[in-house]
């Protein structure tokens, strides 16, 4: 599935990864950055939510009593009114049937352009097509930060090594 | 001197002694005869002096009157104006002083007949009406090497001229008030108008073409007078709201702002700040620039683009060129050379991506050639230009190249939204397909799409959800992973996104219809259905 998905809309984007976010094992994310600096936030293939047997029970964009990502409204070319996100701003929380709850972060400093409302009505999208139709949100970094926002993230090759190490250590123990 | 009458005598006397030139005196005396202004300057001066001497005795008496007890006389004329009286007294007492000062200058002028720079026009209606200056303008026009059949002449005057004109008007108005006559500012012959009366026939003669207010060829001259540049300053303290700084403005003292302030300022305030009559300047105006400009001409046609590595317009990111050429450059380069234009503006009925070809009859375009030096070309010559463009590149071809009017270009832009376009797309599918999997696409008519602004343009366009229509589709099976799709769509539909779905942001899309992941490998525009510009015979 993941290999086939590499084509399609996502082929115009550069991939950046972050592994074990906030020290939580295997909570990996993938940012797809277009050459026009637009970033799409997605779950990486290794994320616990994408493992066989997981069932998503809820997706919540209300990240605090006063802040819902669904309230985000942008207008005009300059995207006025967008919520501004720092690297560790939460985008949503996703609960699974085994009682776990996962927080999805932005990873990218920038303006929140849109969140994916399609996964609310069809959570299966998130698991079936995590890097295309199951995306979490679209973020637009500041023009002057369009290069620096991905600093500290892993390239696909670096991420592959992380996955390999993970595999070795788990098979070794 | 038939145009001047007895009642003009005091005005002529007053202005001449204040250092005003004969043509400006005519203007304030409302002389409307164009030919009179064209008489040689020296003759005019001589005639004016004769006009005054014709009644030398009376004139002397008048001078005495002014010099001795001026206030009484003026007060007499203005008793009915009541409240203004005091202010006017205070001001009017200055006039004899100014007159006295200038009387000497005038006398010496009579003796040595050197031309004193006019205190109102600062030399515009003196030196700058002489044939030498006209010849200088002609040299500039001829060396600029323009093609033209008529011309329009425009003048830009320094703003302080309006202030001096205002002061002279107040002076003459007061003088006429003594005779219970009035003078509205509009009654005065405009300086620009008089200047054009004098220049037009001379310039027309030298250039060998008539003047025409609607001509596209403009000869313009910009005058400045540095010596008196500060004279507008006081207006900003009296009418600060007329002088608001704005970007693209070098100085707040534009001619329009000064005129507006002069309309608002009270007479007494003006006279407190500005000498009336205006002082005599030392220097003439300078002609800062003499410019020629030809109105833009427009060339239209249709283009084909056969390359998937050619953008429509130069593709520059962070000041760096991504690809060496563009459609607009390939077309315009040659036209720029033939029309000898300064610059061009390219527009078209929509645009295609760098990797998209435009086939069939091509896409309508128009090019505005700015300030062209050559404008007359036959249909045969236009055909030659088209041939040259087509011979110069394999990447594009042009047809129906023709001269059009500015208005006609509107028709191209009108069509942009409402007309249809047809495309051919080469599509890849992840899971295998058979003919029967895609045949149903042919039966779909008027398919409504909800299309969010594509991610690839979202950085420079507003986020919006647009409804677009795919009128018809026709599929052509190639192999288990590929097929070709011919589409007829509403203009403004993003085809690539309709094929790959843009993260589910275009719904439905080919992927969702086929229940597969799909991608677009190639896209061609087959037709842009606008019947403009008119087809030409080949």
Smallest Cα–Cα separation from A69: which of A107, A104, A27, A19?
A: A104
pLDDT at A172: 59
Query: Which pLDDT band, with edges at 50, 70 and 90, does A156 fall under?
Result: very high
Residue the block writes with tokens 């007159």: B99
Taking the model in full, what pTM does it have? 0.79
Distance from CA of A106 to the nearest CA of B (A): 17
Q: What percentage of chain B has pLDDT greater than the value 70?
A: 88
Query: pLDDT of B248-258, one tens digit each?
Result: 777 888 889 99
* Cis check: omega of the bond before B303, within 30 degrees of 0: no
pLDDT for B506-537, tens place per residue? 999 999 999 999 999 999 999 999 889 999 98
CA distance A103 to chain B (A): 22
Q: ipTM score of the complex?
A: 0.93
pLDDT surpassing 50 at residue B487? yes
Question: Where do the domains of chain A lie?
Answer: 2-171
Average of pLDDT values for B260-269? 93
Q: What is the pLDDT of residues B474-484, one digit of tens each?
A: 999 999 999 99
How far is residue B211's CA from residue B122's CA, in Å, rounded to a whole number?
26
Rounded Cα distance between B91 and B70, Å, is 12
- Are B332 and B361 a contacting pair, CB within 8 Å? no
Q: Is the pLDDT of residue B538 over 80?
A: no
Residues B447-457 have pLDDT tens digits of: 999 999 999 99
Give the Cβ contact number of residue B318 at 10 Å: 4
Q: Is pLDDT of B416 > 90?
A: no
Residue B374 pLDDT > 70: yes
CA distance B189 to chain A (A): 51
Smallest CA-to-CA distance from A115 within A93, A96, A95 is with A93
Taking the C-alpha atoms of residue B479 and residue B522, their distance in angstroms, rounded to an integer, is: 16
The strand pairing partners of B489, in sequence order, are: B421, B470
Element spanning B386, H or E: helix B379-392
What is the pLDDT confidence band of residue B411, given thresholds at 50, 70 and 90?
A: confident
Residues of B forming the active site:
353
Q: How far is B501 from chain A (nearest CA, A)?
A: 7
Query: Is A132 in contact with B503 (Cβ distance < 8 A)?
Result: yes
Q: Among the listed ranges B222-231, B405-414, B436-445, which one has the minimum average pLDDT value? A: B405-414
* CA dist., res. B350 & res. B417, Å (int): 9
Q: Are B291 and B153 in contact (CB under 8 A)?
A: no
Measured CA distances, B315 to B319, B323, B345, B523 (Å)? 9, 6, 16, 19
Give the pLDDT score at B55. 60
Report the top-level CATH class of B6-112.
mainly alpha
- Compare all CA atoms of chain B with the CA of A7 and give the residue at the minimum distance: B519
Nearest Cα residue in chain B from A125: B504
- The token pair at B215 is 């001509």
Structural domain B295-413, CATH architecture: 2-Layer Sandwich (3.30)
CA B48/CA B120 separation, integer angstroms: 17
**B458 to chain A: nearest residue by CA?**
A38
Pick the closest to residue A45 from A172, A169, A162 (CA basis). Answer: A162
* Total number of residues shown for chain B: 538
Q: B502: nearest CA in chain A?
A: A9
pLDDT band at B415 (very low <50, low <70, confident <90, very high): low
CA distance B509 to B356: 20
Placement of tokens 């014709």 in the chain: B54
Using 50, 70 and 90 to split pLDDT, how confident is the model at B77? very low
Contact B513, A19 (CB under 8 A): no
Specify which residues B369 forms β-bridges with: B297, B344
More confident residue, B245 or B166: B166
Interface check for B461 against chain A (CB to CB < 8 A): the answer is yes
Answer positive or negative: Cα dihedral of B13, B15, B21, B24. negative
Residues of B in contact with A118 (CB under 8 A): 504
Q: Give yes or no for B518 touching A (CB within 8 A).
A: yes
The three-state DSSP-derived secondary structure of B169-230 is: HHHHHHHHHHCCCCCCHHHCCCHHHHHHHHHHHHHHHHHCCCECCCCCEEEEEEEECHHHHH
Give residue B259's pLDDT band: very low, low, confident or very high (50, 70, 90). Answer: very high
Say yes or no to pLDDT of B117 above 50.
yes
Q: Is B458 on the interface with A (CB under 8 A)?
A: yes
Chain B residues lying within 8 Å of A34, measured CB to CB: 455-456, 459
Region of poorest pLDDT, from A155-164, B174-183, B462-471, B509-518: B174-183
pLDDT at B331 over 60: yes
**Residues B500-536 as b or e (16 or more Cβ within 10 Å = b):** bbbbbbbbbbbbebbebbbbbeebbbbbbebebbeee
CATH number of A2-171: 2.40.50.100
Residue of B454, B438, B460 whose CA lies nearest to B507: B454
Burial class (CB in 10 A: 0-12, 13-18, 19+), B339: buried
Is B420-529 the same fold as B6-112? Answer: no
Is the pLDDT reported for residue B363 higher than 50?
Answer: yes
Chain A residues close to B462, C-beta within 8 Å: 74-77, 79
pLDDT tens for residues B282-302?
Answer: 999 999 999 999 999 999 999
> Nearest by CB to A114, which of B463, B501, B518?
B463
A-chain residues within 8 Å CB-CB of B502? 9
With CB atoms and an 8 Å threshold, state whether A7 touches B461.
no
Q: What is the dihedral of CA B370, B376, B379, B384, to 10 degrees?
A: -70
Contacts of A114 in chain B (CB under 8 A): 452, 463
Domain ranges of chain B: 6-112, 127-293, 295-413, 420-529
Alpha carbon of B313: minimum distance to chain A alpha carbons (Å) = 17
B-facing residues of A in 50-109 (CB < 8 A) are 74-77, 79
- Best of A9, A75, A83, A108 to substitute, by most chain B Cβ atoms within 10 angstroms, is A9
DSSP string, A5-52: HTSGGGGGEEEEEE-SGGG-TT--EEEEEETTS-EEEEE-TTSGGGST
* Cis previous bond, B252, omega within 30: no
pLDDT at B269 (0 to 100): 93
The minimum CA-CA distance between B499 and chain A, rounded to whole Å, is 9
Contacts of B427 in chain A (CB under 8 A): none
Nearest neighbour of A77 by CB, restricted to B452, B460, B517: B460
Q: Write the DSSP assignment of B74-95 as a string of letters.
A: HHHHHGGGGGGHHHHHHHHTHH
Choosing among B319, B463, B516, which should be mutated to test the A contact, i.e. which has the most A CBs within 10 A?
B463
What is the assigned CATH class of domain B420-529? alpha beta
DSSP state of B20: -
Both tokens of residue B245? 């700084």
| Residues A28-84: tens digit of each pLDDT | 999 999 989 999 999 999 999 999 999 999 999 999 999 999 999 999 999 999 999
Distance CA B74, CA A43 (A): 93
Helix count (H) and strand count (E) of chain A? 4, 11
Give B169's pLDDT tier (boundaries 50, 70, 90).
very high
A5 in reach of chain B (CB within 8 A)? yes
Q: What's residue B68's pLDDT?
A: 36
**Which of B428, B460, B501 faces A9 most closely, judged by CB atoms?**
B501
Condensed to tens digits (0 to 9), the pLDDT of residues B36-63 reads 999 999 999 999 999 998 765 444 443 3
Q: How many CB atoms lie within 10 A of CB B466?
A: 14
């Amino acid at each position: 599935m993941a290999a086939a998905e590499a084509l399609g809309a996502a082929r115009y984007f550069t991939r950046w990864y972050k592994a074990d976010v906030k020290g939580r094992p295997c909570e990996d994310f993938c940012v797809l950055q277009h050459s026009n600096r637009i970033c799409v936030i997605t779950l990486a293939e290794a994320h616990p939510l994408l493992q066989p047997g997981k069932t998503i029970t809820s997706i919540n964009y209300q990240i605090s009593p006063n802040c819902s990502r669904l309230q985000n409204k942008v207008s005009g070319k300059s995207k006025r009114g967008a919520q501004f996100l720092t690297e560790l701003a939460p985008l949503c929380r996703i609960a699974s049937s085994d009682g776990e709850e996962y927080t999805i972060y932005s990873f990218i400093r920038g303006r929140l352009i849109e969140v994916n409302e399609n996964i609310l009505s069809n959570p299966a999208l998130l698991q079936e097509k995590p890097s295309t139709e199951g995306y979490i949100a679209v973020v637009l970094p500041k023009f002057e930060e369009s290069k620096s926002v991905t600093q500290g993230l892993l390239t696909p090759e670096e991420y592959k090594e992380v996955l390999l190490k993970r595999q070795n250590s788990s098979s070794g123990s | 001197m038939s145009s001047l009458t007895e009642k003009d005598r005091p005005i002529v006397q007053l202005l001449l002694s204040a250092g005003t030139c004969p043509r400006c005196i005519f203007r304030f005396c409302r002389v409307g005869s164009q030919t009179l202004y064209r008489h040689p300057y020296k003759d005019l001066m001589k005639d004016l002096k004769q006009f005054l001497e014709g009644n030398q005795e009376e004139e002397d008496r008048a001078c005495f009157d002014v010099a001795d007890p001026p206030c009484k006389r003026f007060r007499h004329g203005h008793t009915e104006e009541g409240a203004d009286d005091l202010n006017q007294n205070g001001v009017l007492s200055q006039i004899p002083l100014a007159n006295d000062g200038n009387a000497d200058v005038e006398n010496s002028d009579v003796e040595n007949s050197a031309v004193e720079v006019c205190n109102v026009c600062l030399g515009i209606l003196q030196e700058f009406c002489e044939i030498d200056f006209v010849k200088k303008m002609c040299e500039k026009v001829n060396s600029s090497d323009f093609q033209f059949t008529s011309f329009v002449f425009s003048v830009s005057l320094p703003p302080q001229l309006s202030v001096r004109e205002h002061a002279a008007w107040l002076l003459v108005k007061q003088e006429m008030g003594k005779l219970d006559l009035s003078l509205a500012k509009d009654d005065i012959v405009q300086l620009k108008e008089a200047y054009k009366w004098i220049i037009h026939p001379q310039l027309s003669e030298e250039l060998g073409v008539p003047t025409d207010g609607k001509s596209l060829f403009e000869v313009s001259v910009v005058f400045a007078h540095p010596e008196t540049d500060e004279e507008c300053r006081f207006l900003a303290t009296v009418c600060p709201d007329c002088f608001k700084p704005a970007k693209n403005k070098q100085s707040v003292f534009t001619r329009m702002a000064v005129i507006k302030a002069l309309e608002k300022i009270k007479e007494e305030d003006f006279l407190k700040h500005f000498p009336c009559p205006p002082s005599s300047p030392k220097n003439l105006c300078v002609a800062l620039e003499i410019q020629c400009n030809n109105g833009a001409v427009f060339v239209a046609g249709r283009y084909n683009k056969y390359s998937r590595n050619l953008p429509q317009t130069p593709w520059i990111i962070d000041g760096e060129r991504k690809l060496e050429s563009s459609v607009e450059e390939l077309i315009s380069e040659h036209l720029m050379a033939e029309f000898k234009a300064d610059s061009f503006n390219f527009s078209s009925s929509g645009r295609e991506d760098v990797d998209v070809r435009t086939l069939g009859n091509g896409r309508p375009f128009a090019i505005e050639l700015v300030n062209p030096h050559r404008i007359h070309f036959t249909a045969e010559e236009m055909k030659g230009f088209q041939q040259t463009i087509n011979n110069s590149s394999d990447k594009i071809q042009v047809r129906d190249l023709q001269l059009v009017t500015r208005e006609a270009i509107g028709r191209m832009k009108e069509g942009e939204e409402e007309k249809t376009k047809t495309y051919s797309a080469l599509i890849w599918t992840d899971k295998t397909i058979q003919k029967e999997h895609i045949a149903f696409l042919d039966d779909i008519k008027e398919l409504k799409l909800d299309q969010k602004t594509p991610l690839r343009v979202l950085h420079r366009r507003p986020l919006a959800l647009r409804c677009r229509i795919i009128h018809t589709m026709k599929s052509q099976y190639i192999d288990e992973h590929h097929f070709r799709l011919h589409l007829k769509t509403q203009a403004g539909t993003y085809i690539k996104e309709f094929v790959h779905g843009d993260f589910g942001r275009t719904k439905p899309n080919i992927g969702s219809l086929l229940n597969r992941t799909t991608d677009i490998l190639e896209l061609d525009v087959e037709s842009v259905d606008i019947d403009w510009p008119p087809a030409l015979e080949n």
